[in-house]
Amino acid sequence: MIEVRDVTKSFGSQQVLRGVSLDIRRGEAVVIIGRSGGGKSILLKHLIGLLQPDSGIVRVAGEDLARMDERSLLRVRRKFGMLFQMAALFDSLTVDENVGFVLRREGVEPEAEIRRRIGEALDVVELPGIGHKMPSELSGGMRKRVGLARAIVYRPEIFLYDEPTTGLDPIAADNIDRLIRRVWETLHVTSIAVTHDMKSARTISNRILMLHEGRIYSEGPTSDILGSSDPVIHRFVNGISTPQKPE
């Protein structure tokens, strides 16, 4: 469903992606792990066309995003729902208006149907009755759940999660993980997340890709990667820093 070939991306003199290639099949739950600042979020934004590669191919359902202009990309992006790292709720709109943004923009009628679907999405993320609140009145965990409701409500085929548990306490993080897992299982969608939270990766994926030094270093079933004896993967998964050499 998603095919990435030899994608490179630089910002100024810093090359972040150095030839990334990967395939994601329909209905998979994939997590991309890697160190902070290693380009995971950059890679995720390439999958939805928010960033264009310097070279290489990003193909979604057969369409090469790198060759499309912004207006053509809008049609492809309709297949995606994305949860941003800080939720990225529109802070001038209420929760209700945020969640119903796409439905109202696409002219779904009647208004009662929009309200029903907003209510349904907020029920899925276990936040009923907060439609009147502004994003500034919500906690970090609630904002992420509203962000998830905003993505669920228009029933996309592919869900992208950018660091879904970053900045949350362990309970809130577990809550988000369970929601992501439930969305994947019940809606039968393709789920792609980037994270450096190994507990989260274990819960929400059935396959893991590891991004290391701008390339996909390794990939495999979740249990294989998390139990790998490869020194790079083992150190990352178990949070072991590289030993300092004595002077």
Partner 1 sequence: MLLAETARSFRHQRPAWKDFLAQLHFIGVKSQSVVITTGAATGMVLCAQTYLQFHKVKMDTATGAVVSIGMSSELGPVLAALMLTARVGASMTAELGTMKVTEQIDALRALAAHPVDTLVVPRFLALLASAPLLTAESVVVGIFSSKLVGVHLLGIDSAYYQANMERYTDPPDVMTGLIKSFVFAAIIAVVGCHKGLTCQGGAEGVGRATTDAVVAASISILVVNFFLTLFLARMFNG
Q: Please give the residue ranges that form the binding site for partner 1 (CB under 8 A).
A: 45, 48, 50, 70-71, 73-75, 77-78, 80-82, 84-86, 88-91, 101-102, 105, 150, 160
Query: Do residues 151 and 103 make contact, with C-beta atoms less than 8 angstroms apart?
Result: no
Cβ-count burial 30-50 (b if 16+ within 10 Å, e if not): bbbbbeeebbbbbbbbbbbbb
Task: State in angstroms the smallest separation of the CB of 193 from partner 1.
Answer: 15
Q: What minimum distance in Å lies between the beta carbon of 185 and partner 1?
A: 23
Nearer to partner 1, 79 or 115 (CB): 79
CB of 48 to partner 1, least distance (A): 6
> In 3D, which of 178, 204, 192 has the Cα closest to residue 4?
192
> Least separation, in Å, of the C-beta of 19 and partner 1?
24
For tokens 């630089």, the residue is 10
Gap between the Cα atoms of 238 and 50, Å rounded: 32
Closest CB to partner 1 among residues 20, 42: 42
Name which of 50 and 187 has its Cβ closer to partner 1.
50
Reference 146, options 186, 176, 177; nearest CA is 176
Minimum distance of partner 1 from residue 180's CB (angstroms): 17
Single-letter amino acid code for the residue at 237: V
Measured distance CA(117)–CA(81) in Å, rounded? 16
Closer of 75 and 182 to partner 1 (Cβ): 75
Instruction: Closer to partner 1 by CB, 101 or 217: give it.
Output: 101
